[in-house]
Amino acid sequence: MGEGGEKAERGKLPVNEQGNLMTATGDENLKDIFHTIRITKTPAVINYGASWCHVCNQILPTFWELSKKFPKLSFVYADIDECPETTQNIRYTPTFHFYRDGERVDEMFGGGDERLHDRLWLHS
């Protein structure tokens, strides 16, 4: 990792070159992201995790790397502790929600680099 701060902090993602990767900073920000996904119908994946979740921290660097391989998808990381109101129905971390045409079309629970890659490929 370079000096540009590319290494992901615990529970946070660096911005990638395509600009299709972001971290929700709170409930209002996540609501705005949902609104943008619905209005623009941008294909997206939201990774719900937590800083205390070991599996979440393991898959976060992969999530970042995959965002560069799938530039047409928007990648969002939302920490359930930072967005408690909008993530109250999330029961497992990590949980991935996939959106197409403004609607949630799929979800995946747990980690697994290959599983995540394959699911992203399916939805890209």
53 counts as catalytic: yes
Set 56, 76, 83, 116: catalytic member: 56
56 counts as catalytic: yes
Q: What DSSP string describes the chain?
A: --TTT-SPPTT--PPPTTS-EEE--SHHHHHHHHHHHHHH---EEEEEE-TT-HHHHHHHHHHHHHHHH-TTSEEEEEETTTSTTTTTT--SSSEEEEEETTEEEEEEES--HHHHHHHHHHH-
Set 24, 37, 53, 66: catalytic member: 53
Residues with catalytic annotation? 53, 56
